Amino acid sequence: MDDPVIETEGLRKVYDGTVAVEGLDLRVERGTVFGLLGPNGAGKTTTMGMLTTLTTPTAGTAAIAGTPIDDRSAVVEHIGYLPESPPLYEELTAREQLAYVAGLREADLDDRIAELLDRFDLVDAADDRIETYSKGMAQKTSLIQALMHDPDVLFLDEPTSGLDPRAARAVREVIGEIADAETTVVLSTHILSVVEELADRVGVLYDGELVADGSPAELIARVEGDGAGTLEDVFLEVTGGPDR
């Protein structure tokens, strides 16, 4: 069913005369894992910033779950955001951190927090200070923080960066489960294997423009006629060089 939860038209951002994103037209369906790829400076962070209302577009329109992004207070109820360096108060326990964020939302989320602590295997460590956590445990806490209000769209910026293989695998499994539950996931990462494993659709930004958009199989077939290539082949073809 055609059920776009993210829609943009002509989205544009200019910083001091430099175009960061140009004419972005995008439709992402509910329950989709959308992988956002591009080399450094391609516009990924700016795009995420506009869609999460942290950056105001220069031109164009966008809506999340039918709500225009210029209505910030309404949009933030529909989204969760996990930045590359998530804000956590390390002197707090995970349970205290999550209760604090719930309080900022003026919401009673105790049952939801308990459910997610169990789902992320953090119940036994929930009352330990975050400063004692491994990076993987801290990342799980940050994911709970982004998920606990049950958002329509979850934006993830490099969610497996710096994690050991076991922790990275756990985070990837959770992302798959989230999408299966009809939450849309926008995943920005430099790790092509993560996108290849998880993404239903892939968009590639280059010099601020969307230069490729489709399912991994569609993009691979477009570059390698026999469909025997990889997303790395697609990336190199449409950007003219390796991600670095």
Q: DSSP letters along 174-216, please?
A: HHHHHHHTT-EEEEE-S-HHHHHHH-SEEEEEETTEEEEEE-H
Distance CA 195, CA 34 (A): 8
What are the backbone dihedrals phi and psi of residue 121, each rounded to the nearest 5 degrees, phi first? 60, 45
Query: Alpha helix (H) ranges present in the chain?
Result: 44-51, 72-75, 94-104, 110-119, 135-147, 165-180, 192-198, 216-223, 231-239
Residues 66 and 126 sit within 8 Å (Cβ to Cβ): no
Residues 64 and 152 sit within 8 Å (Cβ to Cβ): yes
DSSP for residue 57: -
- pLDDT in single tens digits along all 244 residues of the chain: 467 899 999 999 999 999 999 999 999 998 899 999 988 889 999 999 999 999 999 999 999 999 999 999 999 999 999 988 888 999 999 999 999 999 988 888 999 999 999 988 899 999 999 999 998 899 889 999 999 998 999 999 988 877 888 878 888 888 887 777 678 999 998 788 888 888 999 999 999 999 999 998 888 888 776 666 788 888 888 887 654 4
Chain centroid to Cα 143, Å, comes to 11
Distance CA 83, CA 44 (A): 12
Q: Angle CA(230)–CA(232)–CA(235) in degrees, nearest 5?
A: 120
- pTM: predicted TM-score of the whole model, two decimal places: 0.89
Task: Give the closest residue to 173 by CA, choosing from 150, 145, 204, 194.
Answer: 194
Q: Which of helix, strand or coil describes residue 132? A: helix
Residues 147 and 178 sit within 8 Å (Cβ to Cβ): yes
What are the backbone dihedrals phi and psi of residue 73, each rounded to the nearest 5 degrees, phi first? -60, -30
Task: Give the closest residue to 217 by CA, choosing from 230, 204, 198.
Answer: 230
Q: Count the neighbouring beta carbons within 10 Å of the beta carbon of residue 177.
A: 11
Distance CA 152, CA 76 (A): 10
